[in-house]
Amino acid sequence: MKISAIRYSFRDAFRSFWRHFGITVASITTVAISLLILGFTLLLVLNSQYIAGFMESQVEINLFLREDISRQDARAFENKLTRIEGVELVEFIPKEDALKLMEDSYGKDVDITKALGGNNPLPDTYRVKVVDVELVPQVAATIEKYDEVESLRYGQDFVNRLINFTNWLRNAGLVVIVGILFASLFLITTTIRLTVFARKKEISIMKYVGATNLFIRAPFFLEGMMIGLIGALISVVILYLAYGTVVNYALSSVPFMPLITDKTLLYQIFGYLLLGGTFLGAMGSMIAVRKYLNV
Amino acid sequence: MKISAIRYSFRDAFRSFWRHFGITVASITTVAISLLILGFTLLLVLNSQYIAGFMESQVEINLFLREDISRQDARAFENKLTRIEGVELVEFIPKEDALKLMEDSYGKDVDITKALGGNNPLPDTYRVKVVDVELVPQVAATIEKYDEVESLRYGQDFVNRLINFTNWLRNAGLVVIVGILFASLFLITTTIRLTVFARKKEISIMKYVGATNLFIRAPFFLEGMMIGLIGALISVVILYLAYGTVVNYALSSVPFMPLITDKTLLYQIFGYLLLGGTFLGAMGSMIAVRKYLNV
Amino acid sequence: MIQFFNVTKEYDKGVIALEDINLSINKGEFVFLVGPSGAGKSTFNRLIIREELPTQGQLMYEGKSILRMKKREVPYFRRKIGIVFQDFRLLSDRTVYENVAFALEAMAAPVSEVKYKVPQVLEMVGLDHKHDAFPQELSGGEQQRVAIARAIVNNPSLLIADEPTGNLDPDTSLEIMKLLNNINKRGTTIIMATHDKDIVNRMRKRVVVLNKGKIIRDVEKGGYTDEDQCHTLLF
Amino acid sequence: MIQFFNVTKEYDKGVIALEDINLSINKGEFVFLVGPSGAGKSTFNRLIIREELPTQGQLMYEGKSILRMKKREVPYFRRKIGIVFQDFRLLSDRTVYENVAFALEAMAAPVSEVKYKVPQVLEMVGLDHKHDAFPQELSGGEQQRVAIARAIVNNPSLLIADEPTGNLDPDTSLEIMKLLNNINKRGTTIIMATHDKDIVNRMRKRVVVLNKGKIIRDVEKGGYTDEDQCHTLLF
Ligand SMILES: Nc1ncnc2c1ncn2[C@@H]1O[C@H](COP(=O)(O)OP(=O)(O)OP(=O)(O)O)[C@@H](O)[C@H]1O
Ligand SMILES: Nc1ncnc2c1ncn2[C@@H]1O[C@H](COP(=O)(O)OP(=O)(O)OP(=O)(O)O)[C@@H](O)[C@H]1O
Ligand SMILES: [Mg+2]
Ligand SMILES: [Mg+2]
* pLDDT tens digits along C166-188: 999 999 999 999 999 999 999 99
CB pairs under 8 A between C and D: 99
CA distance D10 to D17: 6
Which helix (H) or strand (E) segment is C204 a member of? Answer: none
Nearest CA in chain B to A24: B194
CA distance B249 to A171: 11
Cβ proximity of C48 and C189 under 8 Å:
no
CB proximity C226 to D under 8 Å:
no
Choose among B111, B289, D15: nearest CA to A123: B111
Measured at the CA of C137, the angle between CA C134 and CA C142, to 5 degrees, comes to 90
What's the pLDDT score for residue B114?
Answer: 67
Q: What are the residues whose beta carbons fall under 8 Å from the beta carbon of B35, sequence distance 6 or more?
A: B184, B188, B231, B232, B235, B236, B273, B276, B277
What's the pLDDT score for residue D235?
Answer: 45
CA distance B178 to C51: 43
Sign of dihedral through CA atoms A235, A237, A240, A245? negative
Cβ proximity of A126 and A93 under 8 Å:
yes
CB proximity A206 to D under 8 Å:
yes
C191 lines ligand 1 (CB under 6 A): no
CA distance B13 to B230: 14
Which helix (H) or strand (E) segment is B68 a member of? Answer: none
Q: Which pLDDT band, with edges at 50, 70 and 90, does A114 fall under? A: low
Name residues with Cβ closer than 5 Å to ligand 4, which is an ion: C 139-140; D 42, 86
Residue from the list B37, B119, B153 with its beta carbon closest to the beta carbon of A115: B119
Q: Among the listed ranges A223-232, B127-136, C37-46, which one has the minimum average pLDDT value? A: B127-136
Position B137, amino acid: P
Cβ proximity of A8 and D101 under 8 Å:
no
Q: What are the residues whose beta carbons fall under 8 Å from the beta carbon of B157, sequence distance 6 or more?
A: none
Q: What are the residues whose beta carbons fall under 8 Å from the beta carbon of A13, sequence distance 6 or more?
A: A218, A219, A220, A222, A223, A226
Strands (E), C126-223: 158-162, 189-193, 206-211, 214-219
Inter-axis angle of helices D111-124 and D140-152, nearest 10 = 140
A43-70 confidence digits (pLDDT tens) = 989 988 888 888 888 788 888 888 788 8
Position B193, amino acid: R
Q: Do B215 and C106 touch (CB under 8 A)?
A: yes
Q: How far is CA C121 from CA A160, B5, C160, in A?
A: 82, 22, 17
CA distance B174 to B155: 28
Average of pLDDT values for D48-77?
93
Q: How far is CA C209 from CA C43, C54, C195, C213, in A?
A: 14, 19, 11, 10
C153-167 confidence digits (pLDDT tens) = 999 999 999 999 999
* Per-residue pLDDT at C232 exceeds 60: no
What's the pLDDT score for residue B84?
Answer: 85
* Per-residue pLDDT at B195 exceeds 50: yes
What's the pLDDT score for residue C235?
Answer: 45
Q: Mean pLDDT across chain B, nearest whole number?
A: 86
3-state secondary structure chain D: CEEEEEEEEECCCCCEEEEEEEEEECCCCEEEEECCCCCCHHHHHHHHCCCCCCCEEEEEECCEECCCCCHHHHHHHHHCEEEEECCECCCCCCCHHHHHHHHHHHCCCCHHHHHHHHHHHHHHCCCHHHCCCCHHHCCHHHHHHHHHHHHHCCCCCEEEEECCCCCCCHHHHHHHHHHHHHHHHCCCEEEEECCCHHHHHHHCCEEEEEECCEEEEEECCCCCCHHHHHCCCCC
Q: Do D170 and C13 touch (CB under 8 A)?
A: no
Residue from the list A7, A205, A212 with its beta carbon closest to the beta carbon of D91: A205
Enumerate the residues of chain B whose CB falls inside 8 A of the CB of residue C109: 4
CA distance D54 to A59: 78
C15 lines ligand 1 (CB under 6 A): yes
Sign of dihedral through CA atoms D171, D174, D176, D179? negative
Which helix (H) or strand (E) segment is C231 a member of? Answer: none
Q: Indicate the CATH number of A60-153 among 3.90.1150.10, 3.30.70.3040, 3.40.1190.20, 3.40.50.300.
A: 3.30.70.3040
Sign of dihedral through CA atoms B110, B115, B116, B117? positive
Nearest CA in chain C to D132: C13
- As for ligand 2, residues whose beta carbon falls within 6 Å of it are C 136-142, 167; D 11-13, 15, 17, 35, 37-43, 86
pTM of the predicted model, to two decimals? 0.88
Enumerate the residues of chain B whose CB falls inside 8 A of the CB of residue A164: 253-254
Which helix (H) or strand (E) segment is B107 a member of? Answer: none
Position D215, amino acid: I
A224-266 confidence digits (pLDDT tens) = 999 999 999 999 999 999 998 888 887 877 777 788 888 888 8
Strand partners, A128: A61, A90
D28-40 confidence digits (pLDDT tens) = 999 999 999 999 9
List own/partner pairs for D128-131 with CB under 8 A and 24 or more apart.
D130/D96, D131/D95, D131/D96, D131/D97
Q: What is the largest CA-CA distance in chain B?
A: 105
Q: Which pLDDT band, with edges at 50, 70 and 90, does B218 fall under? A: very high
Q: Do B202 and C91 touch (CB under 8 A)?
A: yes
B47-63 confidence digits (pLDDT tens) = 888 888 888 887 888 88
- Asked casually if ipTM beats, i.e. exceeds, 0.90, the reply is no
Question: Considering only residues 37 to 76 of chain C, which have any Cβ-Cβ distance to chain D shorter than 8 Å?
Answer: 37-38, 41-42
Average of pLDDT values for C225-231?
69
Position D37, amino acid: S
Nearest CA in chain C to B207: C75
SS3 category, C55: coil
DSSP structural state of residue B66: P
CA distance A163 to A216: 55
Instruction: Break chain A into its structural domains and give their ranges.
Output: 3-55+162-293, 60-153
The residue whose CA is least distant from atom 29 of ligand 2 is D38
Q: Give the distance from residue A1's alpha carbon to the nearest chain D alpha carbon, in angstroms.
A: 9
Q: Among the listed ranges B28-37, B115-124, C90-99, which one has the minimum average pLDDT value? A: B115-124
How many whole angstroms from D141 Cα to the centroid of ligand 3? 7
What's the pLDDT score for residue B263?
Answer: 85
Strands B87-93, B125-130: pairing is antiparallel
CA distance B25 to B189: 15
CA distance D81 to A210: 9
Measured at the CA of C149, the angle between CA C144 and CA C153, to 5 degrees, comes to 155
H helices within chain B, ranges in order? Answer: 3-19, 21-57, 71-83, 95-104, 112-116, 136-144, 156-197, 200-208, 213-253, 263-293
Enumerate the residues of chain C whose CB falls inside 8 A of the CB of residue B213: 72, 75
> Got the DSSP string for B217-254?
HHHHHHHHHHHHHHHHHHHHHHHHHHHHHHHHHHHHHS
* Per-residue pLDDT at A219 exceeds 60: yes
CA distance A217 to A224: 10
* Per-residue pLDDT at D66 exceeds 60: yes
Q: Report which listed range, A193-197, B260-264, D223-227, is most confident.
A: A193-197
CA distance C117 to D222: 42
Enumerate the residues of chain A whose CB falls inside 8 A of the CB of residue D115: none
Average of pLDDT values for D6-34?
94
Query: Above pLDDT 90, what percent of chain C?
Result: 88
Q: Which pLDDT band, with edges at 50, 70 and 90, does B100 fall under? A: confident
Average of pLDDT values for A182-193?
91
CA distance C154 to C73: 18
Position D218, amino acid: D
What atom of ligand 2 comes closest to residue D15's alpha carbon?
5
